Structure 1
Amino acid sequence: MLIPIILSGGAGTRLWPVSREAHPKPFMRIGGGKSLLEQTHERALAVSDGTTPLIVTNRDYYFLSRDELANQQVKPQYLLEPMGRNTAPAIALAAMWAMEQKNDATMLVLPADHLIKDTPSFYTAVRHAEALANDNFMVLFGIKPKAPETGFGYIEMGDAVSQHARVVKRFVEKPDAATAAKYLATGNYVWNSGMFCFKASAILDAFATYHPALLEAAQGVWKTIKAEGDKIELNAGFSSLENISIDYAVMEKAKNIAVIPGDFDWSDIGAWSAVADAIQADESGNTSNNCQNIIIDSRNTHIEAKDRLVAAVGLDNLLIIDTPDALLVADKSRSQDVKQVVSRLKASGHDAHKIHRTVIRPWGSYTVLEEGPGFKIKRIAVKPGASLSLQMHHHRSEHWVVVSGNAEVVNGEQVIALEANQSTYIPAGHKHRLTNTGATELALIEVQCGAYLGEDDIVRFDDIYGRVG
C-alpha cells in the first residue's frame, strides 16, 4: 500500500508578490492552469492507484486547500498544524497516521510546490523507490543537475545498491558557484529534491534511533489529536516540537539511505527565474504568462501580469511581476534576493507581505477596492449557503450595499433580508453577521469608516468554520 503524504506549507517568499503568507506557493497556478497543489495531488493519486493522500498543512490553509481540490474524485485527508515546525515533525506525525491505515504501509512524501511535467518518468522512479523501500531502504529522489545551481542542497552518491539507485555518501549544503561547478563536472552529485519513499515503520524506527526525543514528543501530540471528517487537528502541544528538517533529524545520520538519480524534469519553483524556465520562451529568451503582454527589443525578460497589460521595451534579463497592489522589478540573476523585500515589509508592518488585495475566506472572498485615512472600501463575495461569523468591531462602522444576490443580515437585535440595491448600516460595537440565502453568489460593497481599520479588529462570537477563539 503506497500512501502519498503531501507537505503543503511555506510562504514562498522568493515568489513575492504573487506568493504571500495567506496565499502561498502551493496555490500558484504554473504550467497548465492548475495550482501546484492540485498538480501534486493528481500525481499522487496516479502513482498510488487512488489511495487517499494525507495533506499536512497549516490550519489556516485548510479551507483554501479543500476548495482547490473540490473537483478531485478522491478527496484527501488533512493533518492540520497550528504553526510550522519544518519537515521532521510533519513526517513523524504523518507516519503515525499511515501506520493506522496499514501496518506495513509505504509512504511517498511529496512537497506540494514542485513542478514535474514528465510524469511517466516520475512514476517509473517511484516504482523503483517502492521496491527499495520494501527492502527496508529509506529512499530519496535526487535530480541530475543541469547547471551549477547554488539554490539547492546536493547529495554525493556512493556505490550502487540496485540498477536504479546508489548509496547516499553524504549531504551537502547549498554550495557557492565554484563548488557547484565542481559537483556538476564530477557527475557524482544530484540535487536534493526533498521527496522521499520509505516504510512508515522504517522512518519511525529511524526517529527512535537518531532523534528519540522528537519521536516521544510527537507521540504525545498524536495521543491528543482531534479527528473530525476529513481533518485531523493537532493541539497547542505541537508548538513544543523541535523545528527541524527531516534531513538534519534523521537522513544525515541513518545508514540505510539510498538515492535514485531521477531522469524526470523537476523544478521546486524556488524563485521567479524558475517560473520563467517553466514557460516556453520566444527566440530572444523572453517569457510571459499572458499573451497580451507586449515585449519589444528585449532579451531574457519575464513578465508575470494577469490583471492588466504590461509592455516592455529595450530590456535585458529582467523580471516584471505585476499584481493589483504590488509591482516587482528585478534583475533575473537576483531572483533569490526577492525574499529581502518580504523581510523589509514584515519589519515595517506592511500587510503586503501577508495578504493580497483579494483575500480568500472559507465563505468566499473580499477585495479591497480603495482605502485611505479613515476609510476602506471592499467588494465582498459570499458563496451560496455560506455565512460570515457573528462578529463585532470596536473601532469601525460598516455600510453594506447589496449589488446582487440575496442576503440575511444580523444587525444588533435585528434580522434583515436584503436584495440588490438595498443596504444597512452597522455601527461600531454592534454584533453582526452576513449570510447568503440565495442559490447564486452574493455580492456587496462594504464601506468601512473609523480611526482603525485593521483586519485584527474583529471579535468572533460564533462561526460555522471553527474560527472562534
Structure 2
Amino acid sequence: MKVIAEAIAPDRLSDDTQPACIVQPVVLAGGSGTRLWPLSREQCPKQLIGLTGDESLLEATLRRAQGLRAPTPGYEAPHAAPHVARMQPTLVVCSEELRLATNERLERSGCDARVILEPAPRNTAPALTVAALAALADAPAGEDPVLVVMPADHLIVDGAAFIATLQQAIHHAQRDAIVALGVPPERAETGYGYIRTGAPADEHGARTIGRFVEKPAQETAERYLASGEYWWNSGIFVMRASVWLAAIAACRPDIAAACSASYENARILGSEGSNGPLQLERSAFAACPNDSIDYAVMERIGDDPRLAGVVVPLTAGWSDVGAWDAVWDISAKDSAGNVARGRVLLEGARDTYAHSEGRLVACVGVTGVVVIETADAVLVAAKDRVQDVKAVVNRLNAAQHTEAKVHRKVERPWGCYDSIDRGERFQVKRIVVKPGGRLSLQMHHHRAEHWIVVRGTARVTRGDDTFLLTENQSTYIPLGVQHRLENPGKTPLEIIEVQSGGYLGEDDIVRFDDQYGRVGS
C-alpha cells in the first residue's frame, strides 16, 4: 500500500478559491460490447468500431477530451472557473489483447496518449486505480491531478456542452468531491443505472449524491422519472487522483493493494522510452478482485461519511450506445422512422434499423426490426428485444464459434486478412499489406502455404532465401519452414494465400521476430 498511502495529500481546498489545476483524462477502453454483435466482436469491441460514421468511438472520445485545453465560450463556472494549467497526455486503459488495435486508433486520432495494459479483465474499479497511480507518478512533484474518467464507447452529440459540464465538475473535484455526471432522464429507461440526487450543490444545477441505484424494473423507472429526483448514471466521473485512491483504499483495500503491487512492478514495453505502453505485473493484477467503480465506491456514497459526492447534470446528447435500439435512437431517420446504413432497400418499413457491411439488405413491410449484415453473420431482431443479443453471443462462445470473437476480415498492424473460403483441410485468405508493412518472421507446425501475388510487390523470406515476387508470381512455404512477407513498395500489396494441413487455427504460429512485439507462440 506504499504508493497509495504516499499519494494522499493532508491538506485540501476548503474555500471557493480555484487555483490552476492539472487535468488528467482517463479513457477506460476495456468494454466488450456484446449487445452490438455481430458488428462488435470480442477482438473488435464496440469502442474500436464506427457506429455512426468512419470514426471509432474511441477516437471520438479522445478528440472530445482535448476540448478541455480551451475555455468554453459563454459558460460561467460556479464562483471562479477552474483554470487548466496543464493537461497530461490521455491515459488509455485496455487489455493486452487489444493493444495493437487500440494503438492504431490512437495514431489515427492524432491525440497525445499513453496506454496502460491490463493482463486480465478486472472491470472499471481496478482500471481507474492503476490510472490514478500513473497520473500521480506522471504529474509534476507535489501536484494532484484531477482525473476526468470516460468510457471509450459512449457518444456525446454536443461537444461544447460536454466540456462546459466537465468544467463545472472540475470545480467540485478541486474541493475533494467525487463527481459523477448524471443525465436528467427523458423516459423511463430500464437499461441504465440511476443516481438519486440530493440537496443543491451550486447554482448551476449540481446536486449532492443521495445514492446510486441499479437498473430498475419498468414500474420503478416510471416512478423515478415522475419524481424528478433520479438521473441516469452516465459512467463519467471526475475526481482528484488522491481522492480516488483514498476512497478505494477505504472501501476496497483488497483492490487497492493488488493494483498498487501490480503498478509498482509494471514495465514499459517497446523502444518508445517512458512513453511506451505500461504493462502491469501479471500475477498481482490477476489476484485483483473484479469490481466496477459503481459497486466498489459510488454505491457507498451516502452511507460512508468519508465519501463526499456531487452529481453534475449532463445535457449534451449523451448515449452509452449499449444496444442496437440506442444506435437507432441517436441516428438520423427518414420520415417513417427508419435508419439505413450501407446497401439497404426499404419498402413499407417503419421504425427499422438496417445496416449492411457489403451485401444488399432489403426490408419489406417490417416494423420495429433491427437487421445487421456482416460477411459472416446476420442478425435479425425485434427492436424491443435487442438486449437479448448478449445471450446469442454467450451461446456462440459456449459452442466455440469463431463468429463471437473475430470478424471474417481481421485487422492487423501491418494490414488485414479476409478468410474467403474454408474446408476440412484448406483455407483461402486474401491478405493486404500496407506500404512498408512487415509480418512477423514465423513458422507453422501444422500447415503449408501457397502465396500468389495479385497486386503490388512482395519481399519474401523463406528459410535462408529472400526474394521479390510481382503480380501473377507465386511461391510455396513448406510446413515447418521460417518465413516472412513484406511490402517494400509504395502501394498496397495484395496476395491470395492457400493454406493446407490438418490444423488451420491462428494459434499455430511461432514468431521469432516481430516489430509489433508479438514474439512467441
Which TM-score applies when normalising by structure 1? 0.97
Residues 93 and 115, structure 2, Cα contact 8 Å, conserved in 1 = yes
SS in 2 for 1:346: helix
2:475 matches 1:424: yes
Q: 2:100 — aligned with what?
A: 63
Q: 2:62 — aligned with what?
A: 41
SS in 2 for 1:316: coil
Q: 2:319 — aligned with what?
A: 267
- Counterparts of residues 4-83 of structure 1 (less than 5 Å): 4-49=25-70, 51-83=88-120
Q: 1:168 — aligned with what?
A: 209
Q: 1:122 — aligned with what?
A: 162
SS in 2 for 1:139: strand
Pick which of 300-309 and 29-38 moved more.
29-38
2:300 matches 1:248: no
Change in 2 beyond 3 A, CA 1:214/1:262: same
Tell me the distance in 2 between the aligned counterparts of 1:179 and 1:168.
19
2:424 matches 1:357: no
SS in 1 for 2:319: coil
Residues 2 and 48, structure 1, Cα contact 8 Å, conserved in 2 = no
Change in 2 beyond 3 A, CA 1:351/1:32: closer
SS in 1 for 2:333: coil
SS in 2 for 1:30: coil
Stretches of structure 2 lacking an aligned partner (at least 5 in a row): 1-21, 71-86, 302-306
Tell me the distance in 1 between the aligned counterparts of 2:60 and 2:249.
34
- Counterparts of residues 356-375 of structure 1 (less than 5 Å): 356-375=407-426
SS in 2 for 1:400: strand
Residues 29 and 35, structure 1, Cα contact 8 Å, conserved in 2 = yes
Tell me the distance in 1 between the aligned counterparts of 2:473 and 2:54.
37
2:389 matches 1:341: no
Residues 151 and 235, structure 2, Cα contact 8 Å, conserved in 1 = yes
Residues 153 and 173, structure 1, Cα contact 8 Å, conserved in 2 = yes
Post-superposition shift, 1:119? 1.3
Tell me the distance in 2 between the aligned counterparts of 1:242 and 1:51.
28
Q: Which amino acid aligns with 1:266?
A: W
Post-superposition shift, 1:128? 0.6
Tell me the distance in 1 between the aligned counterparts of 2:168 and 2:232.
18
Please point out which of 280, 287, 291 is paired with 1:234. 280
The one-character-per-residue Cα deviations of 1:349-389 (angstroms, maximum 9, x if unpaired) are 11000000110112111011111221111011112222211
Change in 2 beyond 3 A, CA 1:428/1:359: same
- Counterparts of residues 291-440 of structure 1 (less than 5 Å): 292-440=343-491
Q: Which amino acid aligns with 1:165?
A: A
Residues 63 and 111, structure 2, Cα contact 8 Å, conserved in 1 = no
Tell me the distance in 2 between the aligned counterparts of 1:115 and 1:184.
22
Q: 1:140 — aligned with what?
A: 180
Residues 194 and 231, structure 2, Cα contact 8 Å, conserved in 1 = yes
Tell me the distance in 2 between the aligned counterparts of 1:165 and 1:101.
31
Residues 45 and 51, structure 1, Cα contact 8 Å, conserved in 2 = no
Tell me the distance in 2 between the aligned counterparts of 1:64 and 1:188.
41
SS in 1 for 2:155: coil
Tell me the distance in 1 between the aligned counterparts of 2:138 and 2:457.
44
Q: How many corresponding residue pairs?
A: 468
Q: 2:11 — aligned with what?
A: none
Q: 1:217 — aligned with what?
A: 258
Pick which of 83-92 and 244-253 moved more.
244-253
Residues 431 and 494, structure 2, Cα contact 8 Å, conserved in 1 = yes
Residues 409 and 432, structure 1, Cα contact 8 Å, conserved in 2 = yes
Pick which of 222-231 and 184-193 moved more.
222-231
Residues 45 and 53, structure 1, Cα contact 8 Å, conserved in 2 = no
Stretches of structure 1 lacking an aligned partner (at least 5 in a row): none
What's the % identity of the aligned pairs? 46
Post-superposition shift, 1:311? 1.2
Post-superposition shift, 1:32? 4.3
The one-character-per-residue Cα deviations of 1:132-187 (angstroms, maximum 9, x if unpaired) are 00111010001111111111111111111222311111111111111111111111
Q: Which amino acid aligns with 1:251?
A: M
Residues 3 and 48, structure 1, Cα contact 8 Å, conserved in 2 = no
SS in 1 for 2:161: helix
Residues 31 and 153, structure 2, Cα contact 8 Å, conserved in 1 = no
Q: 2:145 — aligned with what?
A: 105
Pick which of 72-81 and 53-62 moved more.
72-81
Tell me the distance in 2 between the aligned counterparts of 1:416 and 1:156.
68
Q: 2:74 — aligned with what?
A: none
Tell me the distance in 2 between the aligned counterparts of 1:32 and 1:345.
28
2:228 matches 1:177: no
Tell me the distance in 2 between the aligned counterparts of 1:379 and 1:449.
15
SS in 2 for 1:20: coil
Pick which of 329-338 and 76-85 moved more.
76-85
Tell me the distance in 2 between the aligned counterparts of 1:75 and 1:407.
34
Residues 198 and 210, structure 2, Cα contact 8 Å, conserved in 1 = yes
Tell me the distance in 1 between the aligned counterparts of 2:112 and 2:312.
29
Pick which of 326-335 and 79-88 moved more.
79-88
Tell me the distance in 2 between the aligned counterparts of 1:467 and 1:434.
15
Which TM-score applies when normalising by structure 2? 0.87
Q: Which amino acid aligns with 1:321?
A: I
SS in 2 for 1:252: helix
Q: 1:154 — aligned with what?
A: 194
Residues 273 and 332, structure 1, Cα contact 8 Å, conserved in 2 = yes
Residues 45 and 52, structure 1, Cα contact 8 Å, conserved in 2 = no
Q: Which amino acid aligns with 2:320?
A: D
Residues 183 and 231, structure 2, Cα contact 8 Å, conserved in 1 = yes
Q: Which amino acid aligns with 1:93?
A: V
SS in 1 for 2:450: strand
